[in-house]
Structure 1
Amino acid sequence: MDVFLQQLINGITLGSIYGLIAIGYTMVFGIIGMVNFAHGDVFMTSAFIALIFLLVLTTVLGMTSMILALIIVMVIAMVLTSLMSWAIERVAYRPLRGSFRLAPLISAIGMSIVLSNFVQVAQGPRNKPIPPILSGGIEVMNSNNFAVTLSYKQILIWVTTAVLLAGFWYLVQKTSLGRAQRACEQDRKMAALLGVNVDRTISLTFVMGAALAAVAGTLFLSYYGVVNFSDGFVPGVKAFTAAVLGGIGSLPGAVIGGLLIGLIETFWSGYFSIDYKDVAAFSILAIVLIFMPQGLLGRPEVEKV
C-alpha cells in the first residue's frame, strides 16, 4: 500500500506537467486543426529561460529567497516564451495556413528542429543543474521503514495545475476571447464574417499555449533540478498523446489525459519495468482509441455540409 500511494503521488505530479503541455496542443489543434509539433521544444526552451534567469537572480544578484526567485522566473519565462511563440506563429505557420495540410506540419517539425539545435549550440549538450528549490515535504505514511512523502514541490505543481486549468476553462467558456476561440473552432470563415479577428484569435491561442508550456517548463526544472536540450521531444510527444487520449479540443480532457499517462508510467515503472513504461502508455492510448476514437472527453466530429 505504501509503494502504491507513493507512486500515485509521483504519477499525479508527472501527469500534471504533461497536462499543462497538452493544453497547448489541444487549443491549437481545436482552432486551426494543426498539430504544433514545435510545442514540446517551446516547453524545453522555456525551461532553459527559467534556468538562466534563476541563476542570474540567485548567483549574480544574490537573491536568497528561492520562492520569490521562482515566481519571478516563472513570470519572465511566460512572457518571453509567449513572445517567441507569437513570432513562430507569424513567421512559420500563418503564411502556410491556406496551403495543403502537410505544409504547416512540415513547418512545425522544422521549427522543432531549429529550437532544439539552437539550444544545443547555445547551452551545450550536457545536463544543466540548478540549486535545490523547495526542499522538504509532508510525511503522509511511514510503515515498514518506508516513508510516503508528499514534497512541497509536488504540492506546488498540483496547485498550479488546478488553478491554471480552472482559470483557462473560465477564460474559454465565459469571456469574449473564449467565444471567439470557440467560434473559430467551429467555422473560421463564418467567424470572420461575424466580425471575429481570426488572425488575432489564433495568435493569442498560441500565446496562451506557450504561457502554459512556460509554467510547465519552470515546474519541470524545479522538480527534477536539471534540464537538457533533448527534453522537449519525449515530454512533447507524451503531452500530445495525453491530449489525444483525453479528447483533442477539450481542456479538462487534456489534463485528465496527462494524469493518466503520468500514472501509467509511474505504476508501470514501480511494479514492472522502467524500460517498457513508454510502451505501456502508448498501448493504453491505442486500446482507448479503438473503442473511443474521439478520446475520453472529446466530441465526435460533425461533418459540415
Structure 2
Amino acid sequence: MLYFFQQVLNGLHSGALYALLAFGYVLTNGLLHRTNLAYGAMFAFCGHAMILTAAFGYQALWLTLYAAVALGIVAALLYAALISHVLSRSVFEPLADRSPNAIVVTTLGILLVLSEASRIAADTHDLWLPPMLARPVIFAQNAGFKATLTLIQLLDCAAVIGVLALTAWVFARSGFGRSWRAVSDDPRAAAMCGVDVRAVFRLAVLFGGLCAALAGILAGIYYGNISFGTGLVYGLKILFVTAVGGYLSPLKAALGAAAFGMAESLWAGYFPLEWRDAWMYLFLVAMLVLIGAGRDQQKIA
C-alpha cells in the first residue's frame, strides 16, 4: 500500500506539468481549432534556453547557482513572449481561415526549427543542472520503505496549482474570459457584438506560450536537462489528451491531463516502462474512437 502511495505522489508532479501544458494549449486551440505542433517545441525550447542561460551565467558571468537559474528563467519567459508574438501575428492569423493542414505543416516546421536551434546552441551536447532542493520530504513510512517527494517537486506542484487556480479564477470572472468563450464559440458573432477578436487571440497565444515556458522551466529545474526531442513527445501527448477532453474549458483540460500524468506514473510503477507510452497512446486513441462514435450516433438520433 505504501508503494502505491509513492506512485501516487510521483504522479502528482508529472500530472502538474501535464496540467499546465494542457491549460495553455487549450487557451490557444480553443480559438484556433487547428492542430498546433509547435506548442510542445516551445515547452522544450524554453526549458532548454533556461538551462543554457543558467550555464552561461554560472560559467561566464560568475553568478551563484540560484542567480544563474533566475537569469535563465527570465530569458526563457522572454523567449516565450517573443515566439508567441511571432506565432500569433505571422503564422496563426494569416493561416487561421485556410486549410487545417496549412497550420499543421507550418507548426511542424516551427517545431523542427526550434529543436534544431536548441541543438545548435548547445553544440549537440547535453548540459545538466546540478540537483537543487532535492531534500526528501517524508509523507509516510514503515520499517523498510518511505513515501517521499523532494522539496523541488513540492514547489513545482505548488507553483502549478497556484498559477492554474489564479488563472482559472481570472478566466472565469474577467472580461477576457467572457470574450475568449465568445470567440471560441463564434468569432464572427463575437466581432459583431464588439469583441476585439484579434486582441483576444493574441492574448490567448501569449498566455498559452507563457504556460508552456513555465512548464519547461519547472521540468528543466527538476530533471536537470531537457533533450532536443522532448518537445515532440510532450506535444503529442497534450494534443491527444486535449482532443479527448475537448477545447471548451482550459481548466477541465488541465484536470484531464493531470489524470493522464497520474496514470503514467502508476503504469511506470507496476508495468514495464518501455511499454508505457505505447499503451497510453493506445488508450487515448481508443477514447477518441469511442467519443467520435458516440457523437455520430447522437447526430443520427
**Shared fold, TM over 0.5:** yes
CA contact (8 A) 2:13 2:157 kept: yes
**CA–CA distance in 2 between the matches of 1:168 and 1:72?**
24
Show CA shifts across 1:229-274 (max 9, x none): 1111111111222323443332222222222221221211111110
Q: Which residue of 2 aligns with 1:167?
A: 166
- Tell me how far 1:294 sits from its aligned partner: 11
Supply the AA of the counterpart residue of 1:46: C
Partner of 1:98: 97
Structure 2 match to 1:20: 20
Shift of 1:160: 1.1
The 1:151/1:161 distance shift into structure 2, 3 A limit, reads same
Partner of 1:77: 76
Corresponding residue for 2:203? Answer: 204
Q: Which moved more, 1:279-288 or 1:194-203?
A: 279-288
Instruction: Provide the rounded CA distance (Å) in 1 between the counterparts of 2:104 and 2:186.
Output: 21
Q: CA deviation at 1:3?
A: 1.5
Distance 2:141 2:64 in 1: 33
DSSP-derived class of the 2:177 partner: helix
Show CA shifts across 1:133-156 (max 9, x none): 212021122324222211111111
Q: 1:185 to 1:148 in 2, by over 3 A?
A: same
Q: Which amino acid aligns with 2:103?
A: P
Q: Secondary structure of the equivalent of 1:128?
A: coil
- The within-5 A match list for 1:34-183 is 34-64=34-64, 66=66, 70-71=69-70, 73-183=72-182
Give the partner amino acid of 1:149.
T
Aligned pairs, number: 298
Partner of 1:263: 262
Checking the alignment, whether the CA contact within 8 Å between 1:28 and 1:205 is kept in structure 2 is yes
CA deviations over 1:194-237 (Å, ceiling 9, x no partner): 22221221111111001011110010001111121111111111
Structure 2 residue 9 is matched with structure 1 residue 5: no
Asked if the contact 2:35–2:100 (Cα under 8 Å) also holds between the matched residues in 1, the reply is no
Name whichever of 130-139 and 208-217 sits farther off: 130-139
Matches within 5 A, 1:211-226: 211-226=210-225
When the two structures are superposed, what TM-score results if normalisation uses the length of structure 2? Answer: 0.90
1:268-300, CA deviations, whole angstroms, 9 ceiling, x for partnerless residues? 1111110111122223324444555599xxx99
- RMSD of aligned alpha carbons: 2.5
For residues 261 and 127 of structure 1, what CA distance do their matches in structure 2 show?
28
Structure 1, unmatched stretches of 5+, are: none
Q: Is the aligned partner of 1:185 residue 2:181?
A: no
Q: Residue 51 of structure 2 contacts residue 69 of structure 2 at CA under 8 Å; is this kept in 1?
A: no
Which stretch shows the higher mean deviation, 238-247 or 262-271?
238-247
| Residue 239 (str. 1) matches residue 235 (str. 2) | no
| 1:107 maps to amino acid | T
| Distance of aligned partners of 1:75 and 1:163 in 2 relative to their CA distance in 1, 3 Å threshold | farther
Is contact 1:23-1:251 (8 Å) kept? yes
Please say if residues 37 and 108 of structure 1, whose CA atoms lie closer than 8 Å, have aligned partners that are also in contact: yes
Alignment-mate amino acid for residue 174 of structure 1 = R
Of stretches 87-96 and 226-235 in structure 1, the one that deviates more from structure 2 is 87-96
Specify the code of the residue in structure 2 equivalent to 1:278: D
| Distance (Å, rounded) in 2 between the aligned partners of 1:58 and 1:31 | 41
Q: Whole-Å Cα distance in 1 between the matches of residues 171 and 9 of structure 2?
A: 29
Q: d(CA) in 2 for partners of 1:92 and 1:168?
A: 26
Q: 1:128 & 1:254 partners in 2: Cα distance?
A: 32
State the SS of the aligned residue for 2:229. Answer: helix
Deviates more, 1:271-280 or 1:70-79: 70-79
Pick closer, same or farther for the CA change 1:228–1:175 going to 2, 3 Å.
same
**Aligned equivalents of 2:49, 2:204: Cα separation in 1:** 21
- Normalising by structure 1, we get a TM-score of 0.89
